[in-house]
A = this chain, B = another copy of it.
Amino acid sequence: MAATMKDVAALAGLSIGTVSNYFSGKVAVSEEKSRRIEKAIEQLHYQLNPVARTLKTNQHHMIGVLIPDFQNVYVVRVISYMEELLQSRGYSMLVVSCHHRDEQQEERLRYLLARVDGILYMPARITPSLQRCVETIRQTVPVVAFNEVVEGVECDHVLVDSAAAVEKAITTLIEKGHRKIGMLAGPREVYTSRQRLAAYRNAFRESGLALDESLVMFGDYSRRTGVRQCRELLEAHPDMTALFSVGYRMTLGALDVLGTTGAKDRVCVVGYDASDLEGIISPKISYVYQPYEEMARVAVELMLRRIAKDMDGFPEAVELTARICNLDALALR
């Protein structure tokens, strides 16, 4: 059994209240007694019990993070930074994933509710019931949604302006003479996905070109889907000259198909989050580089502000910008 504050007090010949004061630092403790306390702590290897403290203060020093899955490089990069930042601020990160079972989000959120000081939430598919759930939860603990919108709920959001990046890429493609540009989109129901798709359509509209809707495929971010959709696209549009993919694993699937069908050399690829592939596949791939670290930083800072009861600007909607890399690889081949 680990030592308690009582043990420390006894060993130091003091009362438990004084030892508590020593730790909190709010009430001064005399030099001499401090020494005695320190000696006792050392001897007993005493460590404050964070659970007991939480019960009393109602502060967990823990932030919950709910993500749709761990397969996604984007997610992992972001939570990695989050963990680092939180740690440096004295918080730890309780990650839970719904592992693609979107209907589990509510249960997971409620699970976190009783265990953390705030929830960083990357939404998957939103249902009315989930909306109510988030709405209820955010009345007890701050919720900061990231990467994706919880439609219809008043809570802080940190988003990436995907539209700008997508539009830039598609417009560039069009300028360089591409006309048949395939689109591997995300699921229809997800806000971010719709936003990216809207940007794709918009780029065509602005360029005064007609858009062939059969070039758009809706996916689920898996590699397998990437394979299937890309294959279908190539069959329906053998003259496709470029392909935009909004998720890393779908991009991997598409690259696989392009390679095996020999279409690789005549189809330009732009993929989200594909920086790992930079330099290792040819022809060179273009990709959208998202502000992973900034996303984490902004979300964590906002969360800590909310926890500190600073409600300035609530509900905030911060929008970060993504960079698009290797635009020069988009020439018609």
B96 touches A70 (CB 8 A): no
Nearest-Cβ distance from residue A47 to partner chain B, whole angstroms: 6
Partner of A80, one of B60, B71, B278, B280: B71
Residues of A61-112 whose CB lies within 8 A of B: 62, 69-71, 76-77, 79-80, 83-84, 87, 92-97, 99, 110-111
Question: Which B residues are in CB contact (< 8 Å) with A279?
Answer: 255-256, 259-260
Asked whether A207 is an interface residue with its Cβ less than 8 Å from the other chain, the reply is no
Asked whether A281 is an interface residue with its Cβ less than 8 Å from the other chain, the reply is yes
Asked whether A13 is an interface residue with its Cβ less than 8 Å from the other chain, the reply is no
Nearest-Cβ distance from residue A102 to partner chain B, whole angstroms: 15
Residue of A50, A51, A60, A71 contacting most chain B CB atoms (<10 Å):
A51
Partner of A280, one of B51, B99, B110, B259: B259
Cα distance A95–B95 in the bound complex, in angstroms: 7
Partner of A70, one of B62, B79, B280: B79
Known: A80-B70, A256-B279, A260-B279. A47 touches B94 (CB 8 A): no
Nearest-Cβ distance from residue A118 to partner chain B, whole angstroms: 15
Query: How many copies of this protein are present in the complex?
Result: 2
Asked whether A55 is an interface residue with its Cβ less than 8 Å from the other chain, the reply is yes
Asked whether A115 is an interface residue with its Cβ less than 8 Å from the other chain, the reply is yes
Asked whether A236 is an interface residue with its Cβ less than 8 Å from the other chain, the reply is no
Question: Which B residues are in CB contact (< 8 Å) with A21?
Answer: none
B83 touches A70 (CB 8 A): yes
Asked whether A282 is an interface residue with its Cβ less than 8 Å from the other chain, the reply is yes
Asked whether A32 is an interface residue with its Cβ less than 8 Å from the other chain, the reply is no
Nearest-neighbor residue (CB-CB) of A61 within chain B: B115
Residue of A80, A140, A276, A280 contacting most chain B CB atoms (<10 Å):
A280
Cα distance A52–B281 in the bound complex, in angstroms: 55
Asked whether A326 is an interface residue with its Cβ less than 8 Å from the other chain, the reply is no
Question: Which B residues are in CB contact (< 8 Å) with A281?
Answer: 280-281
Residues of A228-273 whose CB lies within 8 A of B: 252, 255-256, 259-260
A-B contact pairs, 9 of them (CB 8 A): A45-B136, A47-B110, A48-B114, A71-B80, A83-B97, A252-B276, A256-B279, A259-B280, A260-B279
